[in-house]
Structure 1
Amino acid sequence: MDRSKLSLIIKGLFKQMDTKILRILVSIDEQITKNLKDGNIVTRPSSTNGLWSCVLLPAVLVSYSTLYNQNVSELYIFLAYISIGLASYSFLFIIFISVSCSVLKENIYGGCTASTLVSSLLLYAVQGQDLMFSLVWSTAAVMSYSALMKIALIVYPKTFTIGEAMIVTQSIVLFSITTVGKYFYNMGAEDDVEMKFINDVIFTILSSVGIIVAAICILDETQKTLSVLTYIICVAGTYALMILHVKVGVDCILRLAEYILLDTDRVLLFLFWLGCAVISACVILVRTHLKVKASTVTRKTFHILGSLVFLSGILYNIRLMTLAAGFGFGLVILLEALRKSGIEPISSSLQSAFNVYSDEKDVGSFAMTPIYLYVGLACPLILVPVHQGYELELLSGVLSIGIGDTAASWFGSKFGMNQWGTGPKTYEGTVFNILSQVALMYVIELFGLMSVNNAMLRVAIAAGVSGIVEAKIDQVDNLILPLVTLISFQATWILC
């Protein structure tokens, strides 16, 4: 048999295998959709459940822990092994729910036990943690993940697909473990005084917002007034001052003001961000007053403004950007809590703005699309373990959803003619998505704002992957694309 015939046979076998695997995956997805419908569990309207999304966050953590083992903290590696346990439970959950939705309706813990053993063995045998310590943390993580999955899919209908619920609940569990491990067990202690100061401030901001949100949730109808809200904010503010006094010092407010205001570059950067925030607020107020429903292209304006903020921060002062990102995330969560609170006139004003800017994916209990946008832009600041020298990875959110997704939406709606299958995405939009990301990297290098080996090639590869994923999936782009881009950058690490 000559080489050409052998090659054709091998290609045919691979094609047949791919077809069979694809058919099996589609069949599983369809069966899960049927089981959810039979169990009266309503997920966010979508043609697929996005089951593959469960591996994205663990893949990012494991890849960094493996490829940059010397540059990551003990806490980061700890989280990577915990995430493997969460991914294991995700696979078992998919198997269970493809048979019956009883895994969501009843207390079934077999998958939790098996997944706990996976992460416990990794922590004990590979990282060298104490066995009991490993079992306790792994059990807490997997059980919390299982419980949060049930809450996300049952208590909040139409808010998440299964894949989106997996990513969100994985993030909540891992973020909670990070907070507890860092501030109560002293894991991953900071040697860098400046970063310790920034992390202490962010912890104080987010925990204060948590107090406000928790208090709002337990209010009854008679207590939902501005005076009660003012009281809650004062209590949270007092708590914040106490924590800052303990962690930063009695001069905490002065130190925070000095950190921002006594450096000219930081002041200019802060004023630029403030200008972007004011423009965003004015646009929202005007369109809300006019009650003109925003189109998809109009909503992408906020992608551009958000990208300008994060791009400038990453290029000029990553640490100030990290501090600002923590504050911004707390503000986004607080605004959403106030919108759902029923406290007038705040709640109705925020609801009016939401009605104008919501899209077809915001049909659930919460406005997840803007939250996903912010998290997508900011998540590389947390997921990339070392900032200095890894600025390219830090731009994953900016490149994929700030620039690429926006460009694809605008160009595709204006000039797109050839569609990907039956969906609205076009080949022209995808090509412009990829070219826009490469063009941004070219401009950054042209002005000497970043110096990374083979940056253009790496961005071209990552942009190609994220562009195709953006065109083919029906999950929320703001949540998926930054993680896909981070994984793509890791796949090209050898070029660095």
Structure 2
Amino acid sequence: MQTSFASMVSLPLLEGVTIWVSVIFVIAGCFEHSLLSSQHIICIVCWFLTQIVIMIWRTVSRLPGSNSTQSSIYRPGVDDGLWCCLLVPLTVLGGITRVYKTQKESHSLDAATLSNDLVFSLISSTTVLSSSRHPCLAFTLVWLLPLSVRLEPVNIVLLVLLCLSSHLCVRRIPVILPKSFSVGEIVVLVQLVSLITWRSVSCLRHLLMGNNTELPQDVSVVAVIGFFSAAMATTAALYFYNNRQPLFFFVTYGVVALVLAFPALYLYLKMDPISWILIYLFTKQKRIFLLLYWLVCSVTAVAVVWITKFDDNRRISRMIQTDSHPLNYIHIKNIAPRTQVESRHSTVIRKYFHFLALGVYAPGLILDVSFLFLGSVVALVVLVLLEAIRVAKVPPLGPVLDEAFRLFVDEKDAGKCIFTHIYLLLGLSAPIWISYSICNTVSLLPLYSGVLSLAVGDTAASVGGSLFGRHKWPGTKKTIEGTLCCVLSQLAFLFLLALLGILALPNVLFLTIAVILVSCYEAFTLQIDNLVLPLLTFALLSVL
């Protein structure tokens, strides 16, 4: 009983300390570069106080994760993860710092745009964390909405709509997909989508006003339009499918995607989207090389999955042959694939894909970041579509995908949907998606946040902890030796990139502190590390 109590108390405490030290680190970095205006300081102070009040209130009232009514809709075996609500505002603050540091002479984004993003992220993060049945939401609006007085009226309306819709999503999505998220995880996902939507609508408004100079690069807008069109198409296909003919699912998806994406892309690009894609692809020879290389990596990944699945089936067949009793045959056929075989390979397969991600993303970051941006969004669309097919059991792919995706399942996939592989892609790509300037050649270090924290650090922590782990952190299975491997591997990777002339490293002391904070957070958090680690890494590396 004492061990269980220590486990429940120590981990959230250690996680909270790590997050708040990271918050202080990021804000101190902003002050060091004199990047915070008076409006920014007021925003951050009010946000700070509001976050503390809301967390205390929710802890005292034990809402939403603790009572028997609501705890059943969240992922079991973890704490609420309320500290995660701080991550997205930190990434915005870090992104602002990076823009000001590297583009002092000619800003690609004006100060008003940066301030708008910061105000939105702070207000949104507090709103989605609040509960409408308690005075936290009113407290949020009273303290933070006056800070948006400098926003244009259109932006204020958009701010209110996005905050209300985000608040609704945080409350309803866990009900629709029970046991798939913790509170902190759903808050982070909704914050990310809201931030991307905020920027996308701003781009669209400038487009309608005929002010294309304030838009980001073509690839960013094309990717955002394509993703939201695919998301709406997936929702429509799932809603109208209802066990009809498989062709109905794919026709619905294709029609909705084309109806939404094609006119919007044509309006923005002023040309046929297919022609634009071909021109974009064949403009640079390295994009052809990257495309072929990624196709080879994809084929390799699929081959590994099917070889592993074949090996599992062969093991199961041997188990069945050793016991001919009919009842034991049924038990082995139904239970063994999950508990005796697949659980043994799940961690190995997932870490293999972490390592493969290093080989996929590193060349893209080195050769062509914008093409990697577009390719990662296409990959996300494909993975979401495949997961929708698997969940809806659309023949003939549905049952096949269900068996293949079981290789990625761990104890964190307690719900109906399997998000492990999608979270990995999100974590690797999020630093690229949320960065203001993906082609800035002065400071590309933050763009490596996903690769650094997941493909290098998380993999090294898992392997090192398995091989050398002897001393465990209090309340967790993770070891101090694994954390040391995480720190050393990330530093070694960064020094290797600097030695090859790919990156210019900042102050080594501050860089080491940032890596240590990320490694400690990897050890202490019970949340999906594929989702939260890259965001914290991006914020810390951006202010160096």
Task: Specify which of 277, 290, 293 is matched with residue 256 of structure 1.
Answer: 277
Change (3 A) 1:347 1:382: same
CA RMSD of aligned residues (A): 2.9
User: Aligned match of 1:48 in 79, 83, 102?
Assistant: 79
Inter-partner Cα distance in structure 2 for 1:325 and 1:122: 35
Distance 1:220 1:458, change over 3 A: same
8 Å Cα contact 1:400/1:466 also seen in 2: yes
Match of 2:369 in 1: 318
Q: Which residue of 2 aligns with 1:362?
A: 413
**3-state SS in 1 of match to 2:151:** coil
> Hey, what's the Cα distance between the residues in 2 that align with 1:452 and 1:117?
42
Runs of 4+ in 1 over 6 A off after TM superposition: 24-27
Q: 1:335 aligns with which of 361, 368, 386?
A: 386
State TM-score, norm by structure 1: 0.82
Deviation at 1:356, TM superposition (A): 2.2
- Native 8 Å contact 2:174 2:181 kept in 1: yes
Task: Tell me the SS of whatever aligns to 1:395.
Answer: helix
Task: Give matches, 1:49-198, under 5 Å.
Answer: 49-65=80-96, 68-69=99-100, 71=107, 72-73=109-110, 74-90=112-128, 92-93=130-131, 103=132, 108=133, 111-124=136-149, 128-130=150-152, 132-186=153-207, 191=213, 196-198=217-219
Change in 2 beyond 3 A, CA 1:413/1:238: same
Alignment partner of 2:435 out of 375, 384, 394: 384
* Matched residues, number: 452
Tell me if the contact between 1:404 and 1:467 (Cα under 8 Å) persists in the aligned partners. Answer: yes
- Whether 1:430 and 2:483 are equivalent positions in the alignment is yes
Matched with 2:10 is none
Q: Is contact 1:226–1:343 with CA below 8 Å preserved after alignment?
A: no
Q: Which residue identity does 2:279 align to in structure 1?
A: E
- Preserved contact between residue 438 and residue 460 of structure 1 (Cα < 8 Å): yes
What is the aligned partner in structure 1 of residue 532 from structure 2?
480
- The answer as to 2:528 corresponding to 1:471 is no
Instruction: Give the number of the structure with larger relative contact order, counting CA–CA contacts within 8 Å between residues 6 or more apart.
Output: 2
Contact 1:44/1:161 (<8 A) preserved: yes
Find the aligned partners of 2:211 and 2:238 in 1 and give their Cα distance. Answer: 33
By how many angstroms is 1:168 displaced? 1.1
- Give the superposition deviation at 1:265: 1.9
For 2:171 and 2:488, how far apart are their aligned partners in 1? 41
| SS of 2:68 mapped into structure 1 | helix
CA contact (8 A) 2:383 2:422 kept: yes
Residue number in structure 1 paired with 2:238: 217
For structure 1, list consecutive stretches of 5 or more residues without a partner in the other structure: 1-17, 94-102
Q: How far apart in 2 are the matches of 1:418 and 1:63?
A: 34
Which AA in structure 1 matches 2:146?
L
Question: CA separation of 1:26/1:246 partners in 2, compared to 1, >3 Å: closer, same or farther?
Answer: closer
Q: Distance in 2 between matches of 1:223 and 1:322?
A: 35
Do the aligned partners of 2:225 and 2:261 also contact (CA within 8 Å) in 1? yes
Indicate if the aligned counterparts of 1:377 and 1:482 stay in contact, CA closer than 8 A: yes
1:263-412 map, 5 Å:
263-291=284-312, 293=342, 294-387=345-438, 388=440, 389-412=442-465
Flag structure 2 segments of 5+ consecutive residues without an equivalent: 1-16, 18-51, 313-340
Distance 1:27 1:241 in 2: 45
State the identity as a percent: 26
Partner of 2:335: none
Report the residue type matching 1:411 in the other structure. Answer: G
Distance 1:323 1:315 in 2: 15
* Offset of residue 185 of structure 1: 4.9
Pair 1:205–1:184, CA change in 2 (3 A)? same
Deviation of the 1:82 alpha carbon: 1.1
Higher mean C-alpha deviation, range 217-226 or range 158-167: 217-226
Cα-to-partner distance string for 1:281-310 (whole Å, 9 max, x where unaligned)? 211222234445223132111111122222
- How far apart are 1:25 and its partner, in Å? 6.9
- More divergent stretch after superposition (335-344 vs 407-416): 335-344
* TM-score computed with the length of structure 2 as normaliser: 0.76
Are the equivalent residues in 2 in contact too, given 1:216–1:341 (CA < 8 A)?
no
- 1:445 corresponding residue in structure 2: 498
CA deviations 1:305-341 (Å, max 9, x no partner) are 1222222111221111112122222222222222222
Choose 42-51 or 424-433, whichever is displaced more.
42-51
CA distance in 2, matches of 1:409, 1:184: 46
Per-residue CA deviations over 1:93-150 (Å, capped at 9, x if unaligned) read 4xxxxxxxxx5xxxx48544443454432222xxx323x4354223212211210111
For 2:366, the aligned partner's letter is L
Distance in 2 (CA, whole Å) between partners of 1:302 and 1:272 is 16
Q: Which amino acid aligns with 1:129?
A: L
Say which SS state the counterpart of residue 223 (structure 1) adopts. Answer: coil
Q: Retained in 2: the 8 A contact 1:204–1:244?
A: yes
3-state SS of paired residue (1:338): helix
**Residues 386-411 of structure 1: per-residue CA shift (max 9 Å, x gap):** 23122101111110111100111111
Which amino acid counterpart does residue 123 of structure 1 have in structure 2?
S
CA distance in 2 between counterparts of 1:68 and 1:158 reads 39
Closer/same/farther in 2, CA of residues 31 and 273 from structure 1, 3 Å limit: same
**Residue 424 (structure 1) shift:** 1.3
Query: Does the 8 Å contact 1:53/1:164 carry over to 2?
Result: yes
Partners of 1:85 and 1:119 within 8 A in 2: yes
| Shift, 1:251, TM fit | 4.6
Mapped contact 1:112–1:142 kept (Cα < 8 A): no
